Amino acid sequence: MPPRRRPTAFEVSFGEEESPNGGLEAPGSFKRKAPPDTAAAGLHNPKRPNSAESEAPVRPPPPPRKYYTPRPGEILEAHALIVGEDEVPDDGEDKPVRVLDRFCVFDPQTFEMVSLEQLEVLSDRAFEAAGYVMPHFLNDEDAGQEDELDEDYEAVRVRLSAILRCTVDCTKQDDPIYLETTHAWYILRNSSKSYRAFYQPFWTTQKITQHLLYTATSEPTTSYVDFLEYLRRDILRTDVRPQDFRTARPRITDEIATSDNAADLRASALVQAVLECKQFPTGIPSTRSVRHIHMPIRDLSDSANDIDLAVLRPEHQNPTHVTPLIEKLAHGLFRESLVVVGDRPARPDKAFEARRKSADAALLVDYVLAANADNSRRRIAYPDVLKRVRKWATQVYLGKEQYSIGDVIIVTQGRDENRPNDKVPELPTCKEALKPNDTLANFFWFAKIISIKREHSKFHIQWFEHSSRTFLGDMGNPRELFLTFLCQDLSFDVVVGKIRVTRVDDDNVPEDLDGYFYRLAYHCHEASFIDIPPPLPVEALLDEDPEAKCPPCNYKEQEGSEDELVEIKDGVAYRSENYHKDDYVLFQGEDSPAKVGQITSTCILECTATVSLLGCVAAIEGLPNNILKDERHLFLTQEKETVPVDKFLRKVFVFLQDAIVQDLAGWRAAHLDHYYATWTLPSVKGRWSQRRLISNFSSCSPCIYQHQDDEELADHIRKMMARSPMRILDLFSGVGALSLGLERSLHAQTSHAVEISPSAARTLCINSPSTIVYNQCANEVLSYAIKQHKKIPLPHGVPLDVLQSSVLPPPPKPEEIDIITAGFPCQPHSRLNMFQKANDVKSNLILNLLSWVDFLRPNHCVFENVRGFLSFSLNTVQADQYGVEDGIEMGGLKFVVHALVSMNSLWLTPGCSLWDPPNPG
């Protein structure tokens, strides 16, 4: 009996209602129909022009003869289904699609292995294949995860019946090579080791032909150089040889002759270059990036018939739509041809880049020579000394160079205490010792002058960090610096020179900017990017102690005071919190993650506090069944414990139950850090029979009053926010669970949501009637929103929803969204995905998400994904059918941070989900 069909998401959500595409039953695996114009028993594709007139291909010598040996227990192919397949309609047209792995093709009469090319050359002979067979599912992510497949399921060794034909669709970028038999279609995966020499030349020819025609059709501006690199790196994974093109030439010309756009393909410069086998260029090719033709989601009315799966199929996926800024940042990092909504940013002028590179090289030589000179002999002069305090100055001359407060200096790199394992670079001693790719950041550190100490001949400086030494690594802008929270006194002798560094207060960094720039601060221990206040005028620094205005000094003082235990009246202050006698605290215990106690005394010398422990009523031995087991219902005890103050978690508030005037349930919901008590027991392990009503209850009155004032203020803020809640745009929303959590915690409202799945979108509409839901691809909606906002004509009119049943509602505008939430697709990053792909377009939807951020510029963003995204690498190559390798380590996360930083936005911590842009006020 074949396994049962799993219910679709639509059926799970809406029971027996008719599905959106007519209620047709959806099989669990993709079915391929034979083309109607091809004979069922034919051995090759429809007739093609005779390729004999073409130049004879240069073919590699045939491999030595090998023979197939049938395996014991090998199953002969039959009409019966294999484990995991769904039943196929018996209409004579549909056949199941399976995967054939570790296969070989042979002549059944002699068992001699033959190349698949022989299917066309020797059309009067029948060939067979054998290998391991598995079911093929609609999504690779589903393979091995079916309800009906056992965890120990193994592929079945099958000997196929006569091969009818071998096909590949050259109009699709990733369409596999298929074999057809009387009973099924088979996707060829990996050949057996013994058959590899027969299969590899055939596979190479097919893939060159397929990717050439696809690229020439969908990306017609791709250069010959880019195509060669694409073949080498992503497809063949070996060097492309001219003889590979000459061998593929007949196949290419045959495919062009039968193509619907044969004239365009023949006129393609890329096709002509391949057919002519042009000399292979040297040098490093650039990454493709071309404009894509608008391709809306196709009509799904005839899709096989789970609509939620159909919209996710590769042939229904749109190219990734992005804003100009995101396209600019993504250039060279993503191999997809991105669709830019709006004007494509101009590429850097090559002549200007060459001049700037030459100037940078000359500047590096000057600084290297200066660093090797004896700077201790430079003449020191002070043209302007503070009148009130002569030990400080605003300017100083070191030799002929003038240095002022606010200037940026460079010093030779030394040992970095924050990176003790980093090797100190060896400074070149002359121009000839420099390498072509060396930069200032390889040998020098940057610092900003905060004050000038005339008395000690020193600068007090604030360090910069070059972008390459931040979390961004090489993905950062090579001309961007970040202020740090580190400062130091530097002797005049170690200063190599002064360099131009410009502060930029927005995300519009001029392309022709000379020198370096900065706009944010970087916290190296937290890998966070933080806003910086406007610089103080020099007049504000003319104080008795200019270092009092040093941001890192103030930060270190504040950080130190927070961790320092300070004695106050009737208690201690620790980490910005005051703890008094009779206060209640939540603290970390040795045998428990959290306990509650009442402070009875403190010892500043030992940094400890003595507390009376409180217990939970629900844990009392012998508690009657009619007593509510509430974790916030406590009891007092006479049991004492000495607790280190650094174990304090926070202050909490305990009240007598009789003093609570409102209903208990409402009080608990409104005050999450409040507890209540009714009884007292001798110890936390006391019995119910030992309870006594509390007769002497105490608490810290000043803290209670302050807390009440804080509660009133917080309640006022909540009421103000409730009148005008923050507006959420939920991208890739599903049924809206992520945004619903924010609604309940932030007094926010999901005003707009984008979800491509029809059943999920309908569920969201039912659960949140006030939300405007766009049941369409996020790429389509982004294009619609930007064009509508910028009054760009819509060539196809207002887009329809994914079912083509109604037009989309008006899109959100930048001033209408406060928060963007997004649980962008996780399948490419999930460790449960057994078939990861280097070219999975779903992984590029992070670019679409960042484009929404760029367009709307919300106040906050909350992104969610699986842990695997933290290790998601960019520019990977396919290692095998199961995984990828190489690429930029953690490139996905680094690109997200890089994009947000480029928008002059604040990234709190990688792994944390919230970032805030700088306050314009």
pLDDT of residue 546: 64
Q: Pick the range with the lowest mean pLDDT from 364-378, 534-548, 626-640.
A: 534-548
Band (pLDDT 50/70/90 cuts) for residue 746 is confident
Q: Which of 303-317, 517-531, 557-571 has the highest mean pLDDT?
A: 517-531
3-state secondary structure 161-180: CCCCEEECCCCCCCCCCEEE
Is the Cβ–Cβ distance between 640 and 610 less than 8 Å? yes
Q: Residue 781 above 70 pLDDT? A: yes
Higher pLDDT, 748 or 350: 748
**Dihedral angle at the C-alpha atoms of 409, 410, 416, 421, nearest 10 degrees?**
150
Q: Pick the range with the lowest mean pLDDT from 444-448, 584-588, 662-666.
A: 662-666
Higher pLDDT, 867 or 916: 867
Q: Residue 225 above 70 pLDDT? A: yes
Work out the number of other CB atoms within 10 angstroms of the CB of residue 275: 20
Question: Alpha-carbon distance 584 to 391, whole Å?
Answer: 51
pLDDT of residue 28: 33
Question: Alpha-carbon distance 136 to 368, whole Å?
Answer: 62
Is the Cβ–Cβ distance between 300 and 308 less than 8 Å? no
3-class SS shares of the chain: helix, strand, coil, % to 5:
30, 25, 45
- Tens of pLDDT, residue by residue over 528-572, are 888 777 766 655 555 556 666 677 877 766 665 566 777 887 888
Please report, for residues 399, 569, 646, 727, the alpha-carbon distance to residue 608 in angstroms, rounded to integers and kept in the order given.
57, 16, 8, 46
pLDDT of residue 25: 35
Q: Residue 439 above 90 pLDDT? A: no
Band (pLDDT 50/70/90 cuts) for residue 263 is confident
Q: Pick the range with the lowest mean pLDDT from 126-140, 186-200, 590-604, 811-825.
A: 126-140
Q: Label residue 488 exposed, middle or buried (CB < 10 Å: 0-12, 13-18, 19+).
A: middle
Kind of pairing, strands 577-580 and 877-878? unpaired
Question: Alpha-carbon distance 777 to 409, whole Å?
Answer: 50
Please report, for residues 72, 157, 586, 642, 854, the alpha-carbon distance to residue 592 in angstroms, rounded to integers and kept in the order given.
61, 56, 11, 15, 46
Higher pLDDT, 720 or 103: 103
Q: Residue 862 above 90 pLDDT? A: no
Tokens of 665: 């349930």
Band (pLDDT 50/70/90 cuts) for residue 679 is very high
Work out the number of other CB atoms within 10 angstroms of the CB of residue 95: 19
Is the Cβ–Cβ distance between 873 and 890 less than 8 Å? yes
Band (pLDDT 50/70/90 cuts) for residue 9 is very low
Please report, for residues 540, 679, 689, 698, the alpha-carbon distance to residue 695 in angstroms, rounded to integers and kept in the order given.
60, 9, 17, 10
Residue type at 416?
Answer: D
Is the Cβ–Cβ distance between 323 and 792 less than 8 Å? no
**35 three-state secondary structure:** coil
Band (pLDDT 50/70/90 cuts) for residue 701 is confident
pLDDT of residue 56: 53
pLDDT of residue 906: 66
Q: Label residue 118 exposed, middle or buried (CB < 10 Å: 0-12, 13-18, 19+).
A: middle
- Residue located via tokens 């009996």: 1
Is the Cβ–Cβ distance between 286 and 226 less than 8 Å? yes
pLDDT of residue 708: 74
Q: Pick the range with the lowest mean pLDDT from 239-248, 824-833, 906-915.
A: 906-915
**Dihedral angle at the C-alpha atoms of 232, 234, 235, 241, nearest 10 degrees?**
0
pLDDT of residue 855: 92
pLDDT of residue 38: 36
Cross-strand pairs, 615 = 635
Widest CA span in the chain: 108
Q: Residue 580 above 70 pLDDT? A: yes
CA triplet 464, 467, 469: central angle to 5 degrees?
Answer: 85
Higher pLDDT, 281 or 205: 205
Residues 6+ away with beta carbon under 8 Å from 382: 393, 395, 396, 397, 454
Alpha helices in 595-655 (DSSP H): none
Q: Which of 44-48, 596-600, 794-798 has the highest mean pLDDT?
A: 596-600
Q: Residue 103 above 90 pLDDT? A: yes
Cross-strand pairs, 17 = none
Work out the number of other CB atoms within 10 angstroms of the CB of residue 912: 13
Extract the runs of DSSP E, i.e. beta strands, from 738-818: 748-754, 772-774
Q: Residue 31 above 60 pLDDT? A: no
- Residue located via tokens 């960019």: 874
pTM score of the predicted model: 0.62
| Spatial CA neighbour of 829 closest among 865, 864, 869, 779 | 869
Average pLDDT over residues 648-656: 90
Tokens of 329: 């940042």
Is the Cβ–Cβ distance between 472 and 466 less than 8 Å? no
Band (pLDDT 50/70/90 cuts) for residue 123 is low
pLDDT of residue 159: 92
pLDDT of residue 93: 59
Q: Pick the range with the lowest mean pLDDT from 198-207, 409-418, 423-432, 527-536.
A: 527-536
Question: Alpha-carbon distance 63 to 847, whole Å?
Answer: 46
Angle (deg, nearest 10), helices 778-789 and 845-856: 30
Is the Cβ–Cβ distance between 810 and 719 less than 8 Å? no
Question: Alpha-carbon distance 149 to 169, whole Å?
Answer: 30
| Spatial CA neighbour of 292 closest among 270, 316, 268, 318 | 318
Band (pLDDT 50/70/90 cuts) for residue 81 is low
Band (pLDDT 50/70/90 cuts) for residue 19 is very low
- Tens of pLDDT, residue by residue over 57-66, are 556 678 899 9
H or E element at residue 913: none
Higher pLDDT, 907 or 27: 907
DSSP per residue over 81-138, as a string?
Answer: PPTTPPPPPSSSSEEEEEEEEEEEEE-TTT-BB--TTHHHHTTTS--EEEEEEEE--S
Q: Which of 88-97, 234-243, 309-318, 561-570 has the highest mean pLDDT?
A: 234-243
Question: Alpha-carbon distance 478 to 475, whole Å?
Answer: 8
Q: Which of 190-204, 563-577, 825-839 has the highest mean pLDDT?
A: 190-204
Residues 6+ away with beta carbon under 8 Å from 674: 632, 652, 653, 654, 655, 667, 668
Q: Residue 228 above 70 pLDDT? A: yes
pLDDT of residue 111: 92
Question: Alpha-carbon distance 473 to 484, whole Å?
Answer: 16
Residue type at 219?
Answer: E
Cross-strand pairs, 166 = 179
Q: Residue 44 above 50 pLDDT? A: no
Tokens of 898: 């890089």
Question: Alpha-carbon distance 274 to 266, whole Å?
Answer: 11
Mean pLDDT score across all residues of the chain: 77
Q: Pick the range with the lowest mean pLDDT from 285-299, 433-447, 673-687, 741-755.
A: 285-299
Angle (deg, nearest 10), helices 196-218 and 242-257: 60
Q: Residue 905 above 80 pLDDT? A: no
Instruction: Please state, for a pLDDT cut of 70, what percent of the chain lies above it.
Output: 75
| Spatial CA neighbour of 871 closest among 826, 840, 909 | 826
Radius of gyration of the chain (CA): 35
Q: Residue 876 above 70 pLDDT? A: no
H or E element at residue 641: strand 633-644
